[in-house]
C-alpha cells in the first residue's frame, strides 16, 4: 500500500526542515547562546518549539489564470520572558528571513515562498512569566496539478 502525502503536508515538512536545518545553523553563528528550534514536546530555556499553521489563501486573478495554488502559513515562536527575550525575537525573525532567502522554493516543494509580515508580541504583563511571541506570516505559491 502506497502512502499518500498531500501538498499541505509537504509544505509543513519543508518549513520544519528549514527551521531545524539552515535556520538553526544561522542561530549557531551568533556570539551569544540562543535557544534552537526542535519539534516535539520540548520546551525550556535551551529549546523553542514553534507552531506552524497552514491555510489556503485567496488567489489573485493572475494565479487563477496560470493555475497556481496559494497558501498562507504562519510560524509562531514562543519565547520565554527573560532579559534577552526581545533580542531573541529579533534574532529569530532575522534568521528566518535569511534561511528562507537561501531557499525560496522550500527545497523544491513550492514555486515561491515569501514573508508577508512579522509581528513581535510582548507579554501583556511584563516580568510575570508569560511569553513573548514572534509571528511570521508567509505566502506560498505552487503550480496546480
Assess contact for 92 and 143: CB atoms under 8 A.
no
Place of cell 536545518: 21
Integer angstrom CA distances of residue 87 from 44, 59, 63, 101, 107: 17, 35, 38, 21, 29
The whole-number pLDDT of residue 6 equals: 87
Using the predicted structure, report yes or no on whether residue 4 has a pLDDT greater than 90. no
Show the domains of the chain with their CATH numbers: 7-143 (3.30.70)
Using the predicted structure, report yes or no on whether residue 20 has a pLDDT greater than 60. yes
- State the chain's mean pLDDT as an integer: 87
What does the pLDDT look like over 37-94, one tens digit per residue? 998 776 666 889 899 999 877 777 777 777 788 899 999 999 888 888 899 999 999 9
Mean pLDDT of 96-113: 94
Mean pLDDT of 25-36: 90
Amino acid at each position: 500500500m502506497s502512502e499518500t502525502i498531500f501538498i499541505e503536508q509537504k509544505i509543513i515538512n519543508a518549513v520544519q526542515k528549514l527551521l531545524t536545518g539552515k535556520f538553526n545553523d544561522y542561530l549557531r553563528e551568533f556570539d551569544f547562546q540562543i535557544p534552537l528550534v526542535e519539534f516535539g514536546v520540548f520546551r525550556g530555556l535551551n529549546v523553542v518549539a514553534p507552531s506552524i499553521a497552514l491555510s489556503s489563501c485567496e488567489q489573485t486573478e493572475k494565479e487563477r489564470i496560470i493555475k497556481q495554488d496559494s497558501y498562507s502559513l504562519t510560524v509562531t515562536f514562543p519565547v520565554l520572558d527573560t532579559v534577552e527575550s526581545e533580542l531573541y525575537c529579533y534574532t529569530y525573525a532575522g534568521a528566518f528571513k535569511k534561511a528562507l532567502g537561501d531557499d525560496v522554493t522550500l527545497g523544491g516543494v513550492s514555486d515561491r515562498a515569501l514573508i508577508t509580515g512579522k509581528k513581535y508580541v510582548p507579554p501583556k504583563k511584563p516580568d510575570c512569566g508569560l511569553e513573548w511571541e514572534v509571528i511570521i506570516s508567509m505566502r506560498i505559491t505552487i503550480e496546480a496539478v
